[in-house]
Amino acid sequence: MEYVNSKKNFIRFCFGLTGFFVLFFSLGSLLIITGLRQYNQIPKPPKTDLMIVLGSFSILFVSYFIYSYVKNSPKIFIDRKTIRFNNKQYLTNSIKEISFSGKHSFTLSKVEGIKIQFKNGEVRYIFNLLYDNYYC
């Protein structure tokens, strides 16, 4: 095999993100709408402000999570001389160290992945759970 081209795990990537987005965005929207409806009532029901804050936090959280998920799962292309993460390309002889197993920070937890450290000090991670062909 002359090269390896990454394949994202469709079920985890698309369905997982979609389900997570729908759940937290719906929850956040429901809390905000309910809080805004109760906000102008006299007397104001308790914890109305808290509902609006928690709804906003829920929407911000799901936005950050999706951004982080997409950022940490670039398209990867590897051949004998280069390794490319999206549009950033490195020469394979510029790799200082590779750790093929270990838990690395991913969004809010640590997951199994590959750590590639380059001579220029940059570190890139390939997280196993995001790709179908990480074992190639």
Question: If you ran DSSP here, which 8-state letter would residue 45 be given?
Answer: P
Classify residue 2: in a domain, yes or no: no
Classify residue 101: in a domain, yes or no: yes
Tell me what pLDDT residue 135 has. Answer: 52
Q: At what angle do helices 16-39 and 48-71 cross, to 10 degrees?
A: 160
Q: Is the pLDDT of residue 1 over 60?
A: no
Amino acid at 127: F
Classify residue 44: in a domain, yes or no: yes
> Are the C-beta atoms of 52 and 35 separated by less than 8 Å?
yes
- Per-residue pLDDT of 25-40, as tens digits, reads 999 999 999 988 888 7
Residues linked to residue 114 through DSSP beta bridges, in sequence order: 126
Q: Mean pLDDT lowest for which of 14-18, 53-57, 93-97, 129-133?
A: 129-133
In total, how many domains does the chain have? 2
Structure tokens at 104: 């690395």
My answer on whether 67 and 93 are in the same domain is no
Q: Which residues contact 6 (CB under 8 A, 6 or more apart)?
A: 74, 75, 76, 77, 131, 133
Q: Which residues contact 75 (CB under 8 A, 6 or more apart)?
A: 5, 6, 8, 85, 86
Q: Which residues of 72-88 are buried (b: 16+ CB within 10 A; e: fewer)?
A: bbbebebeeeebbbeee
My answer on whether 35 and 64 are in the same domain is yes
My answer on whether 86 and 66 are in the same domain is no
My answer on whether 66 and 23 are in the same domain is yes
- Per-residue pLDDT of 91-105, as tens digits, reads 989 999 998 888 887
Range of the domain at 45: 8-71
Strand, coil or helix: 46: coil
- Per-residue pLDDT of 31-84, as tens digits, reads 999 988 888 787 878 888 899 999 999 999 999 888 888 888 888 888 888 999
Classify residue 33: in a domain, yes or no: yes
Tell me what pLDDT residue 131 has. Answer: 78
Classify residue 29: in a domain, yes or no: yes
pLDDT band at 136 (very low <50, low <70, confident <90, very high): very low
